[in-house]
């Protein structure tokens, strides 16, 4: 009796582009969270080699595993199939038009500085120190926004005084 084998790709074939896309999004999100392949593997019950194969698109990610990855990486399943960033998604382009390169260059999450900052942040082993740095950054951002708001309000007042009454 002849065994029936379901059709699939041969070992010499290149990975399916969808598998590569999904894998690259897993890697992107893992890096954004500062997780190693080993830590992600532990969280979902796999070896780092299996995570590596998923990220390269060498092995396909099943639906249940993708659901588990979305939970562990704290993103919706759609994130793995989409090219947009869930935090700073650009406006939807008309039809299938490519977004202009300026969209990618202006996205702060794609800047080298941001990646280095996130890497440095997660390199801090002490969670209390990491939390203090986080709180400091938020406080500095609020202070900067308040200063910008006061300067804008001051300009508006000066402008109003210059207007004829």
- Each residue of 25-67: pLDDT tens digit? 999 889 888 889 999 999 999 999 999 999 999 999 999 999 9
Q: What is the pLDDT of residue 5?
A: 56
Closest listed residue to residue 80, CA positions, set 25, 153, 129, 147? 25
pLDDT reported for residue 75 = 85
Q: How far apart are CA 154 and CA 125, in angstroms?
A: 43
State the burial class of residue 130 (Cβ atoms within 10 Å of its Cβ: 0-12, 13-18, 19+): middle
Identify whether the C-beta of residue 38 lies closer than 8 Å to the C-beta of residue 17. Answer: no
Nearest to 41 by CA among 51, 31, 33: 51
* pTM score of the predicted model: 0.48
Q: How confident is the model at residue 3 (pLDDT cuts 50, 70, 90)?
A: low
Q: Which of 99-103, 105-109, 141-145 has the highest mean pLDDT?
A: 141-145
């Amino acid at each position: 009796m002849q065994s029936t084998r379901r059709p699939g790709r041969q070992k010499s074939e290149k990975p399916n582009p969808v598998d590569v896309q999904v894998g690259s999004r897993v890697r992107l999100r893992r890096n954004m969270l500062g997780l190693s392949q080993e830590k992600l593997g532990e969280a979902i019950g796999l070896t780092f080699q299996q995570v590596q194969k998923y990220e390269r698109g060498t092995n396909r990610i099943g639906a249940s595993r993708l659901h588990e990855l979305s939970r562990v990486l704290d993103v919706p399943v759609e994130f793995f199939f989409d090219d947009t960033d869930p935090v700073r998604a650009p406006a939807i382009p008309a039809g299938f038009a490519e977004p202009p390169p300026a969209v990618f260059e202006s996205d702060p999450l794609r800047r080298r500085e941001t990646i280095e900052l996130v890497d440095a942040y997660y390199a801090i082993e002490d969670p209390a120190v990491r939390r203090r740095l986080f709180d400091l950054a938020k406080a500095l951002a609020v202070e900067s926004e308040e200063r910008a708001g006061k300067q804008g309000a001051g300009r508006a007042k000066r402008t109003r005084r210059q207007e004829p009454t």
